[in-house]
Amino acid sequence: MTEINTDKLAEAFVSALAIDAAEVNDELAYSQHPKWDSTAHMVLVAEIEAAFGIMLDTDDIIDMSSFAKAKEIVAKY
């Protein structure tokens, strides 16, 4: 697995979910955090794609249910 820029990924989460940098950790999970709903998820996908210059697959968008999972997924591209 390639190393990814975790800071860049964390920045995408902070901006898309409108949360504090301190709240971004591996436990941060979709529909668990009040700010991470389906609307924020769409914004997050767009932010990640722009930040890393990638296009996420359908399955990856749906699978990306935590910050830890997002790191794994982005590393595949």
Partner 1 sequence: MHFYSSQYIQQIAQNTTSHIIDGKTGVQLNYAEFDKTVSQVETVFQLLFEQQGKCLVAIESDNSLNCLVVYFALLRSQHCLLLLESGQDKLKQQQIIQNYQINLLLDKSLINSLLAASAEAHSTKQSLIQQLPLKFLPTQTIHPDIKLLLTTSGSTGSCKYVKLTADNLQANCQSICQYLQLTANDSVVTTLPMFYSFGLSVIHTHIASGSQLVLSNSTPMDKNLWALLKQYQPTCLYGVPFFYQMLLRLGLKRLPLQSLRLFAQAGGRLDNSLILQLHEYIQQQNDGSCHKQLFIMYGQTEATARMAYLQPDKLPEKVGYIGQAIPGGEFKLVNDLADHADNQGSSIQSTQAGELYYRGGNVSLGLAQNRQMLEQVEKTEWLATGDLAELDAEGDYKIIGRLKRFIKIVGKRINLDEVEAWLSQSNLARNLTEQAQILASGEDDKLVLVMAGKLAANHLEQIQHPLIQYATELLSVHASYLRVVHIEQLPLTANHKVDYNKLKQQVLYAN
Should residue 25 be labelled a site residue for partner 1 when binding is judged by CB under 8 A? no
Q: How far apart are CA 6 and CA 18, in angstroms?
A: 18
Should residue 19 be labelled a site residue for partner 1 when binding is judged by CB under 8 A? no
Should residue 42 be labelled a site residue for partner 1 when binding is judged by CB under 8 A? yes
Q: How far apart are CA 3 and CA 43, in angstroms?
A: 24
Should residue 45 be labelled a site residue for partner 1 when binding is judged by CB under 8 A? yes
Of positions 7, 31, 50, 76, contacts partner 1 by CB under 8 A: 31
Of 73, 16, 9, nearest in space to 43 by CA: 16
Residues forming a β-bridge with 29? 66
Residues of this chain that interact with partner 1 (CB under 8 A) are: 16, 18, 30-31, 38-43, 45, 57-59, 61-63, 65
